[in-house]
Structure 1
Amino acid sequence: MYHNLADLEVLLKILDSQGFIHNYELQLKRADGTYFWAIASLQYLSFNNESAILTVFYDINDRKNAETQLQEQNDFLQRIFESIPLMIALIDANGKLQWVNQEWENILGWKFQDFQTRDVLEALYPDSEYRQYVINFMQSAQRIWGDFKTQVRDGGLLDTSWTNVYLSNSQIIGIGQDITERKRSEQALKAQAEREQLMRTVAQRIRQSLNLHEILNATVEEVRDLLGVNRVVVYQLDSEMSGTIVAESVERGWTVSLNVQIHHTYFQAGAGVEYYQGRKRAIANIYEAGLTDCHIRLLEQFEVKANLVVPILLEVNSQNPGSHLWGLLIAHQCSDFREWEENQLDLLDHLTVQLAIAIQQSSILEQAQAELVQRQKAQVKLKAALAEKEVLLKEVHHRVKNNLQIVSSLLQLQSQTLKDPEAIKVLRESQNRIESISLIHKNLYTSADIGQINVAEYIQNLAASLLISYQLWPEKISLETDISPLSLNVDQAIACGLVINELISNALKHAFPNQQEGTITIILHNIGNKIELIIQDNGIGLPDNLDWRNTESLGLSLVHDLVTEQLEGNIILERNHGTIFKIEFTQLTLH
């Protein structure tokens, strides 16, 4: 009946020698061959020189099964926690570490056994003030992620992010992840954004000012702030290969070098030839960079321990390709030696290109100021060239207009050879479209300013031309206009002309059947930086079932494409008492 007879025999011997009650868990076998768990309560009895053992069995099979099931669930949950790629730690209400998963140990380097007698938070966050900040975050019970600097076992700091889950028994489950790569990416993006901002700032100053002194001073100030160095200077070389510090931004407490003239044999002896070739240099330690003794002594005068050096090269001229070494852009680290990053050297390299542009622009300005007479002559020549260009442009517009007229005439001749009314209609519509474009070029070469188009005059001429084309007279169809004085560039004027051509043609063909009298109205207003164009008629209107955006009509399809794509605007159709097309688009500059 006993599942483990050897254990039972040992138990009986113990009881026999000690004489006390003992409870023992046994797995017993039923008559049907199945097993169950029970507690055997054994008592040693002695009376009348007789001895006996009283045995009482208690069935605990249900409890044992529940314990087994609970253990299996715990094992299952533990396997899940071990497989999750996150750090998981269980801490009791007193801050003692109860359990961690393998990921926690792998990332932080600590072992669970390290904290049997040690405070885990004190080890991970040794600074008491910072540790209190972590504790406050944990006790806030907010289900948010917080970023922290966590100390790993080897003493290094790791970027981590944690969130906490409070349990009903006051225990805390901490869930964390290593965010080192994310932080590195964020810092790289931030550095890139700062570099781009610096480039934009310098480029903007160059565009706004030709004062080289202001540009150089602003550049060294911005670079020192961005790189976090002690000093940034611009060193200009002269014809004798000596030089002067012409711009400087220096942190308080370090030697000022602005306007210091440096007579050094480094360049005179040809040792700086690599800078002529565009070489840039990052020196982490001046004593380990292979510099000459005199060069080291020079740097020691200005307390330099590490530096970045990038040449400022100017193009000689377009006829003789080559570069002239104007000077150097230098960043000094004086407080300590420093390992530089590649992107920091690249930043200075990009900046020297901007500085070269500023230097060349400033040089041009100085030459212009010194040679005022030649400048005035150049202005006269420039005006003559502009006048010649204007004449040439007018001639181009005139020729384009003539060519369009030729095309229109060819279409007219072609229509006279056709008998199919539909084909004649198509040619006439094409002819009208060409005429609308031709009018633009006519206005351009007849206008005093070839960059402006008299919109009111153009629309009046276009509408009158359409009335004549369809052989209608003012007494039948009247044209009303309300056009504000504004100008359009060529592209927008052509697009508007084609839109007006299509919508007026459509109204003349379909809105007034059986020689019905009516009115076509064109309204053009400037509303802020938007232009509103309204073309309406009081005719019979478009059919209610007509989807004008999806129709086989070439004219309406052309209107939709011109407004949405060419003008980048929108169009609204209203069918009240006729037809109203409301078009709105942004006014662009004339050129």
Structure 2
Amino acid sequence: MNSNSITFFDEQPVFILDQCSGDILDVNDSAEECYGYSHGEFTSMNIDDLGTEKNRAEILGISSKGSTTEDKLHVHKTKQGKDRFVKFTSHSFNCNEMDAKLVVAHDVSYQIEEEKRRLSFPDIVGAKSNFPFAEIRWGSDLEIDSWSRQSSELFGWSEKEIKNMEMNINDFLIEEAHLIQSNLHEVIESKESHFSFETKVKTRKGESLICKWYNSLRYNKQGDLKYIHSLIVDVSDQRQSENLFRALSEESLVGVYLIQDGVFKYVNPRFSNIFGYEREDIIGMMSPFDLTHPEDVDLVKENLRRRIEGEEDSIEYEFRCTTKTDDVIDVSVYGARITYMGRPAVVGTLLDITENKETVRKYEASLNTFQDLFDSISDAIYIQDKDGRFLEVNQGAVDMYGYDESFFIGQTPEVLAAPGKVDLEETKKKVQKAINGTPQSFEWWGKRKNGEVFPKEVVVNPGTYFGEDAVITIARDITERYKAEEELRKNEEMFRQLFQNAPVPIALLDKRQEVRKVNDSFDNTFGYQTDEVRGLNIDNFLVPEDEREAARKVSNKIFSGETAFHTGKRVCKDGSLVDVLIYGVPVNVGEKTVAIFGIFVDITDRKKAEEKVKKSLKEKEVLLAEIHHRVKNNLAVITGLLELQAFNTTSEEATEVLTASQMRINSIALIHEKLYQNKNLSEISFDTYLQELTDVIVSSMKSEETDVSISIDADPIDFTISQAIPCGLILNELITNAYKHAFVNQEKGKININISNKDGQIYMTVKDNGIGISEEVSLDNPQSLGIKLIHTLSTQLEGESEFNRTGEGTEFTLQFKLKK
């Protein structure tokens, strides 16, 4: 037996009425709480004052056909004016020596409301709309005195059978009979008037039922127990429903809760797991606001109040909660108003949607990212339905055509087509093929808002849009590519004509040196056409065997990416040889050489002309060398004559003049000697010439009175004869003058000669450490033949010259431009 301190009279409003008049004689606390009237107000009222009886169908506003007396309900008004739909269960009994009736007003308001809403949320109480109470009166010895018709229906025995068989209460109880008797003795000793219990009983058919016993004890004036009046109800289905609901709740993947009087009366394991508490920490200990995030407490309070006070029967909403570990979670709750143990309560479910929220957040972020990506693509993208109408377009389409996005929606491609340049029927067919699963790709002509016509490349693929078949079209403006392709076609044609009509033979070779194509000049020169040599290695049929190694080296150089040229002979189709100048031009793609253009220039005539020129030049070189040799010999004869004359004259002045002339002629003869000895008959190495010239002068001018040394610092410079002779004569005059006049009364003398070439400018300096040149000597107004000669020769060289008088001797400088 399960003893419970809460009796039947605490669970439902109970009225004790006068059997005849219906006046209210007594009520329980639940009646006062549910209706809002005080005990004194109730005892002054008749039961009909609370409301009227109506048919259930009438209340629901449906057809009353087929209704029975069990469909009769009472519509009561509370003191606050609120409707209560109740079902009466009544039982007659004797109260204080008068006929009375006990009426239980079962609240079925929620059933009516549920039927109106056609909802199916489970009722944790599970009360029936009509309890068929069995009524038994029995004594302290458990013997049965009275047995009602409902008792016969519940247990299966008639009143006659009960009396004939002398059955007592223990005959019905399956278990816990001794506990019931023990509790009964305690109740009698304490003179209590009511007690209840719940236990299993057996029926005549041997079935097991769970029944709730509501017991009223009656005592005589001496305080002895007269009898026990029991109202018995079968709660088997209710307990089974409760057990089923509890089992489902305990195993539920969502939190289940019951809130009454501001605290949790029940939570299932999932509910406690969500928040990290034990169930006993929540049930009866916590309010919903203890688990609510501080910023959402007001929201939860308001929604709970509205349901408790009946403003809303049910509600579903989301808010934030705080777990035991202070983690903030998002939850979704559903709560419905019910009556639990005679008082309003809220029962519902709670679902942790934190991960869902995060998923939604990520989805929304992904959606935004997709939209950004959708709009960031420069190509136009359209989503079209099966009829070709635009459902959505990206920013690329807006930019491409110049229309607002709203212009496109609902339109077909026809509004974007360039008149006269698009086959719209063919376009529709391609869209339909894409709808049917075959992607399409084609070129199309569009017309912008500003009237500009342009080509575009279109790719159409099948897809879906909100579950409906659609096509996804990507369009790219190919105006620049179209222009480039057109320009490329022109260039290709120009190149083809240039290749084919070029006046020199050209062969296009692949990387294996096999012929791909030759032009008309190649045929005219070598006798081969493209069809005859295509695919052949060009060296195998065009290069003589003795030149193939050289040709291979040239080819390797070209395939390394360099342009190369080469001269040689090539074999014609008829076996004849042609002298050609060959240019190899690589065709590079990136860093790789993929082909070669071989360009051949027929130089047979030029070769013949070169041979003639070489032969003629050789003859002229021999002739020029002979001329230089003869000039040198003639100058030598003149020098000999001057020297002979000098020996035969008695005039010292004449001898000096003749000797000076002899020195000048020697300097010129020495140049001609060097020229005919040199391979290059037009230039001489002046540094070598200068050394030999000074040696000749020293040997001629050497004196016992003064020891003169000459120092030469000359860059290796090649002078033409037109500059070599003037320079040689100037140096001859300067050195011989220094010997004659610079070192008077000096035992030693020194002459420094420096010649340098700086970027084509020749700088010549001659300096001695003698007594210095006279102040009267001037190049601008020369008095002597030697100074005149120096001035004239400097002018001939187009140079600048001057004498500088230093503290020690004289310095002559000359600057002129080197000729080639």
Q: TM-score, normalised by structure 2?
A: 0.26
Considering only CA atoms, is the larger Rg found in Structure 1 or Structure 2?
2
Identify which of structures 1 and 2 has the higher relative contact order when contacts are C-alpha pairs closer than 8 Å and 6+ apart: 1
Q: Which has the higher strand share?
A: 2
- Quick check: which one's helix share is greater? 1
| TM-score normalized by the length of structure 1 | 0.36
